[in-house]
């Protein structure tokens, strides 16, 4: 618990928005450097080296960083200029004309805001403007967006105001795109636009700057400069007149935060290298991460999708015993994979995504705005959840960290995929050993990246989130077998959130209690109650079940609060998606069940034979043979078998639609583990027979 507390404090210290803009200045993480260092390397390094949080040096740095952020927040003026957008048409519910950007430095809790965002960098293209809110139209949830409600058919107005403080005379210039018409005043005096474009001499001292303008067409840019350099990089612009303490701290204070954060990262990386000990493992990790990062940054999508297959080379490395575990797997496979995902999506840092209108991606984004920036924390945009519940809160939280950009959603999905891969590794290693487990991990990643699911990474749907939370719940349950209540509670919470993310995954959530038994409990033991009773952890069994039960009750209570009906499924798509009814196309319930089941097995809709779905089909077949006590399948882990079978139960109740592959995501980790484990069990007896001959 102490480690978790210090991890939370480190996250708070790193993300706390700094009054001094610059490198690693906290949320929003709107540059590639911030995304990579704070969004990826810092959390991943601390996760691989949690012991670093127990060091006095690290704790002193965290306390110092928190104290520095608190001190500067209380005493300094915010860097940047206040930027407010005004739309001539209502762009969202509640007659919204002055929207928020996803900028925690602005007054995001006020409606309407004085500042939509704080401008701390020049905007060179339309997508660099903090104008994500144009994904919000229409002003009615039940109607599709119309072109007249978005640029270039609507012309928003902007108002920019702040202070420019200069010690010496210099040249102020503002470059604006063809679609940006502005009128600028300096200390209340209107400035000639041509003169300002070429550079205007400004006397030393503090000056009040105001810019009013309109944004038309699609050629937007607005880049203020001072003596030909980025004005904001020169640390001269503030939202209000700076005080004397600002003048003392600003020349050097902006460097303190990155120095402290880089110190924590350096200590964590040193701890990882010390634990790895084997030079070959370090060289492989750095080399593979570098290669996959280059592929992600520059190669076409086809190459990115096949890149995980490159990691299969790990299987042949002569690794020392201390690396043949889950930690070694995440170092050797997890680090390169997250480097691939990060490099592929890093180009999205600092820019916003235009969402296609009318689909689920778009709706989740609108609900996220409704929750975080309009304050509907419990309602979440709907009294009942016709769209899946949890992801709207996830998307909003990620926008609060990463700003308008959707890069945070890609990194979140990458982390969830790694959680699934870790569960695949853990199951397979317990069943058949380390090298087979690495193979299963590669299979799992390959199915996700080569299959139709790959396009969902970072796009904004709930399936990968639910998969990752299910995997985390199973892993926490296994750790909780030592009696640790913190892991029991963590497992129950992750399981509950997995249900909130995808309601149709409830059977898998209930099957997670099977992880109260060890992974070495074979499926054959299902037919031996005495052996099951002997090895179960009752604390995990009861504790996880209790937490999940509380989570389900709270969900039903929320529905009752808004509708008067105490139900888990009231107002959802459960009835509309039920397979036990004749469809408009004339399909019978039996045909619906078969089609729904095959859609999950094949990852295609309508179902068809696809080689990429073979690991899922083989995993399901292995689980069925294990339950039937067919050797050697009966030696597969009991809990993995039950989890896999539960993953297909939902398909027998309701059929999903749209976005091929999404309804197979939850079964991929456990199906890949069972497939590779079954192959290993089949190969080993054959080897033994050959050796005896």
Higher-pLDDT residue of 29 and 653 is: 29
Total count of residues recorded for the chain: 693
Which H or E run includes 224? strand 222-226
> Is residue 20 predicted with pLDDT exceeding 80?
yes
Where would I find the beta strands (DSSP E) of 526-615?
none
Q: How would you classify residue 86: left for phi > 0, otherwise alpha for psi between -120 and 50, otherwise beta?
A: beta
Nearest Cα neighbor of 515 from 548, 479, 485 is: 479
Query: How far is 384 from 394, CA to CA, in rounded Å?
Result: 18
Query: How far is 370 from 382, CA to CA, in rounded Å?
Result: 10
Label residue 404 by pLDDT band (50, 70, 90): very high
**Digit-coded pLDDT (tens) for 55-104:** 999 999 999 999 999 999 999 999 999 999 999 888 888 888 999 999 99
SS3 content of the chain, % helix, strand, coil (to 5): 60, 10, 30
- Asked if residue 81 lies in contact with residue 118, where contact means CB atoms within 8 angstroms, the answer is yes
The residues spanned by each domain of the chain are 2-76, 81-240, 407-684
Q: Which residues pair with 503 in a beta bridge?
A: none
CATH number for domain 81-240, candidates 3.40.50, 1.10.3470, 1.25.10, 2.60.120: 2.60.120
- Chain centroid to CA 134: how far? 22
Burial of 66 (0-12, 13-18, 19+ CB in 10 A): middle
pLDDT value of residue 689? 43
**Digit-coded pLDDT (tens) for 131-165:** 999 888 888 777 777 777 777 788 899 999 999 99
> Is residue 345 predicted with pLDDT exceeding 90?
yes
DSSP 207: E
pLDDT value of residue 684? 75
pLDDT value of residue 530? 84
Structure tokens given for 656 = 């999903």
Which H or E run includes 48? helix 42-48
Q: Which residues pair with 202 in a beta bridge?
A: 170
- Asked if residue 266 lies in contact with residue 37, where contact means CB atoms within 8 angstroms, the answer is no
> Is residue 30 predicted with pLDDT exceeding 50?
yes
Query: What is the arithmetic mean of pLDDT over 38-47?
Result: 96
Helix 668-692, helix 434-450: angle, nearest 10: 140
Query: How far is 484 from 492, CA to CA, in rounded Å?
Result: 13
**Digit-coded pLDDT (tens) for 429-485:** 999 999 999 999 999 999 999 998 888 898 888 999 999 999 999 999 999 988 889
Query: In degrees, to the nearest 5, what angle opens at C-alpha 119 toward C-alphas 116 and 121?
Result: 150
Label residue 691 by pLDDT band (50, 70, 90): very low
**Digit-coded pLDDT (tens) for 312-324:** 999 999 999 999 9
- Asked if residue 646 lies in contact with residue 623, where contact means CB atoms within 8 angstroms, the answer is no
Higher-pLDDT residue of 354 and 671 is: 671
Helices (runs of H) and strands (runs of E) counted in the chain:
24, 11
> Is residue 355 predicted with pLDDT exceeding 70?
yes
Q: Return the half-sphere exposure (C-beta side, CA atoms, 13 A cut-off) of residue 106.
A: 28
Nearest Cα neighbor of 667 from 607, 622, 608, 627 is: 622
* C-alpha dihedral sign at 49, 449, 340, 36: negative
Find out whether the peptide bond into 209 is cis, omega within 30 degrees of 0.
no
Q: Return the half-sphere exposure (C-beta side, CA atoms, 13 A cut-off) of residue 630.
A: 9
Label residue 583 by pLDDT band (50, 70, 90): low
Task: Supply the pTM of this predicted model.
Answer: 0.94
**Digit-coded pLDDT (tens) for 108-126:** 988 889 999 999 999 999 9
**Digit-coded pLDDT (tens) for 515-532:** 999 999 999 999 888 888
DSSP 192: -
Nearest Cα neighbor of 186 from 158, 166, 164 is: 164
Q: Measure Cα distances from 382 to 133, 368, 390, 469 in Å.
A: 19, 11, 12, 23
Average pLDDT, the chain: 91
pLDDT value of residue 645? 96
| Tally of CB atoms within 10 A around 395 | 27
pLDDT value of residue 247? 84
pLDDT value of residue 686? 56
pLDDT value of residue 687? 52
Q: With pLDDT > 70 as the criterion, what percentage of the chain qualifies?
A: 98
pLDDT value of residue 445? 96
Label residue 1 by pLDDT band (50, 70, 90): low
Label residue 194 by pLDDT band (50, 70, 90): confident
Query: How far is 127 from 288, CA to CA, in rounded Å?
Result: 32
pLDDT value of residue 693? 36
Burial of 651 (0-12, 13-18, 19+ CB in 10 A): buried
């Amino acid at each position: 618990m102490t480690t978790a507390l210090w991890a939370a404090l480190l996250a708070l210290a790193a993300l706390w928005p700094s009054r001094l803009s610059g490198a690693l200045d906290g949320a929003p993480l709107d540059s590639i450097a911030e995304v990579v260092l704070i969004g990826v390397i810092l959390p991943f390094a601390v996760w691989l080296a949690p012991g670093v949080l127990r060091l006095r040096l690290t704790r002193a740095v965290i306390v110092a960083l928190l104290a520095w952020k608190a001190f500067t927040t209380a005493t300094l003026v915010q860097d940047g200029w206040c930027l407010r957008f005004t739309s001539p048409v209502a762009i969202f519910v509640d007659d919204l004309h002055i929207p928020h950007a996803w900028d925690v430095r602005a007054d995001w809790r006020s409606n309407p805001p004085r500042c939509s965002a704080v401008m701390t960098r020049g905007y060179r293209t339309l997508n660099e403007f903090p104008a994500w809110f144009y994904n919000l139209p229409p002003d009615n949830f039940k109607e599709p967006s119309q072109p007249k409600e978005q640029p270039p058919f609507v012309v928003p107005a902007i108002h920019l105001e702040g202070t420019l403080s200069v010690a010496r005379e210099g040249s102020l210039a503002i470059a604006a795109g063809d679609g940006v018409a502005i009128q600028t005043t300096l200390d209340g005096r209107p400035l000639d636009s041509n003169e300002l474009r070429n550079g205007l001499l400004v006397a030393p001292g503090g000056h009040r700057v105001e810019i009013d303008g309109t944004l038309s067409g699609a050629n937007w840019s607005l880049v203020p400069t001072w003596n030909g350099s980025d004005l904001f990089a020169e640390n001269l612009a503030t939202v209000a007149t700076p005080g004397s303490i600002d003048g003392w701290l600003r020349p050097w204070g902006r460097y303190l935060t990155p120095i402290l954060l880089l110190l924590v990262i350096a200590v964590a990386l040193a701890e990882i290298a010390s634990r790895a000990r084997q030079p070959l493992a370090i060289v492989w990790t750095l080399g593979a991460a570098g290669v996959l990062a280059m592929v992600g940054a520059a190669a076409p999508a086809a190459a990115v999708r096949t890149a995980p297959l490159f990691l299969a080379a790990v299987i042949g490395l002569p690794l020392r015993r201390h690396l043949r575990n889950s930690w070694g797997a995440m170092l050797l496979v997890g680090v390169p994979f997250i480097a691939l995902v990060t490099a592929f999506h890093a180009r999205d840092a600092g820019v916003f995504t235009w969402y296609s209108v009318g689909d689920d991606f778009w709706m989740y984004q609108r609900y996220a705005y409704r929750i975080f920036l309009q304050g509907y924390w419990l309602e979440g945009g709907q009294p009942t959840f016709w769209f899946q519940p949890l992801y709207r809160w996830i998307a909003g939280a990620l926008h609060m960290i990463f700003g308008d950009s959707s890069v945070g959603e890609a990194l979140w999905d990458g982390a969830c995929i790694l959680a699934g891969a870790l569960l695949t590794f853990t199951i397979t290693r317990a069943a058949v050993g380390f090298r087979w487990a690495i193979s299963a991990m590669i299979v799992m990643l390959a199915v996700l990246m080569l299959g139709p699911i790959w396009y969902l990474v970072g796009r904004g749907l709930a399936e990968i989130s639910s998969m990752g939370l299910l995997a985390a719940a199973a892993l926490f349950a296994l750790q909780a077998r030592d009696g640790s209540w913190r892991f029991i509670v963590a497992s129950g919470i992750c399981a509950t959130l997995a249900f909130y993310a995808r309601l149709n995954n409830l059977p898998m959530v209930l099957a997670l209690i099977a992880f109260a038994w060890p992974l070495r409990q074979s499926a054959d033991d299902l037919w031996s109650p005495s052996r099951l009773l002997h090895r179960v952890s009752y604390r995990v069994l009861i504790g996880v079940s209790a937490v999940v039960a509380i989570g389900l009750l709270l969900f039903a209570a929320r529905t009752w609060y808004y509708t008067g009906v105490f139900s888990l499924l009231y107002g959802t798509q459960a009835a509309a998606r039920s397979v036990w009814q004749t469809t408009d196309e004339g399909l019978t319930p039996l045909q619906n069940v078969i089609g729904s089941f095959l859609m999950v097995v094949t990852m295609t809709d309508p179902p068809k034979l696809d080689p990429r779905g073979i690991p899922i089909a083989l995993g399901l077949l292995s689980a069925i043979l294990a339950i039937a006590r067919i050797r050697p399948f009966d030696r597969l882990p009991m809990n993995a078998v039950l989890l896999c079978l539960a993953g297909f139960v939902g398909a027998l109740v309701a059929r999903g639609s749209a976005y091929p592959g999404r309804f197979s995501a939850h079964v991929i980790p456990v199906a890949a583990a069972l497939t590779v484990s079954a192959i290993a069990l089949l190969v080993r007896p054959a080897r033994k027979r050959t050796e005896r001959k």
